[in-house]
């Protein structure tokens, strides 16, 4: 029973991430991660608050959303809207966690640790 609620919470969260990606503005959504997380959690809680299982699924969806936003924000970076004079510009922030994978680097690391 609880596994179905966890899976449904994960599916709700994944659905929103896919919608954000399809709009082409995923990084802009990640720039306002706090607001996205707050609004998503309140809406999901409000939609499913009529039963105990709905509350549990909404709680897991909010948890997965917070974890997913944090991980994606640190892995791919984010964008925010800023004002320059009278113009609005999009300011990009690079990712905090470097994620590089190469076979040559793995071989060099293995050789160094022998």
| CA nearest neighbour of 26 among 64, 70, 72, 82 | 72
| CA nearest neighbour of 24 among 98, 79, 81 | 79
Distance CA 19, CA 42 (A): 18
**Site of tokens 């964008």:** 79
What Cα–Cα distance (Å) separates residue 7 from each residue in 2, 15, 64, 86, 91?
A: 9, 12, 10, 46, 35
Domain residue limits, the chain: 2-112
pTM for this model (two decimals): 0.77
Cβ atoms within 10 Å, residue 74: 14
Listed as ranges, residues in the chain with pLDDT below 70 are: 99-102
* pLDDT value, residue 99: 66
* pLDDT value, residue 35: 93
Distance CA 23, CA 57 (A): 26
């Amino acid at each position: 029973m609880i596994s179905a609620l966890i899976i449904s919470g994960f599916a709700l969260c994944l659905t929103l991430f896919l919608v954000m990606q399809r709009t082409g503005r995923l990084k802009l959504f990640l720039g306002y991660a706090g607001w996205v997380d707050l609004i998503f959690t309140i809406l999901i809680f409000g939609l499913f608050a009529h039963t105990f299982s709905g509350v549990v699924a909404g709680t897991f969806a909010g948890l997965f959303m917070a974890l997913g936003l944090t991980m994606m924000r640190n892995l791919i970076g984010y964008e925010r809207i800023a004002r320059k004079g009278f113009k609005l510009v999009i300011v990009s922030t690079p990712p905090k966690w470097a994620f590089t994978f190469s076979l040559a680097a793995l071989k060099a690391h293995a050789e160094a640790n022998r």
